[in-house]
Amino acid sequence: MKSLIIEGTKNTPEINFDVKTGKFSIIGNSIPEDVLSFYTPIFRWLEDYIANPCPITELSIKLSYFNSASSKTLLDILNMLEAVNDTSAKVFVKWHYHDLDEDMLQTGKEFESMLSIPFEFIAYYQD
């Protein structure tokens, strides 16, 4: 299968899911008017990936802003990957947040509490 690469826009994040290295990243903003139309292809792609995942999947999430609908969708993505973590393959999350953005850290912590996959919280400082 091919890697999933979607360029970022003002309202949607940059998606780079590399099947060869297992390094996934979601970077930018996620405030689409229609959350499902943006995320449905990602769900479809993940369904295929789950069937034949990399030994280690590392998902980096570095979002500066996302709306509540995106929040729920993110949780769905994490749920799907959590299923992989149960089998032979391993999944972990790198949750990037701006040093001052405790709301983003809070959301990450909230996700961590609801999931069985390990979270690493990384603060960044630039704008």
Binding site for another protein (CB under 8 A): 31, 33, 35-36, 40, 43, 64-65, 67-69, 72-73, 75-77, 79-80, 98, 100-103, 110, 113-114, 127
State how beta strands 14-17 and 23-30 pair.
antiparallel
Nearest approach, Cβ of residue 41 and another protein (Å): 11
Nearest approach, Cβ of residue 92 and another protein (Å): 19
Burial of 81 (0-12, 13-18, 19+ CB in 10 A): buried
Q: How many CB atoms lie within 10 A of CB 17?
A: 20
Nearer to another protein, 21 or 86 (CB): 86
Nearer to another protein, 21 or 124 (CB): 124
Bridge partners (DSSP) listed for residue 92:
58
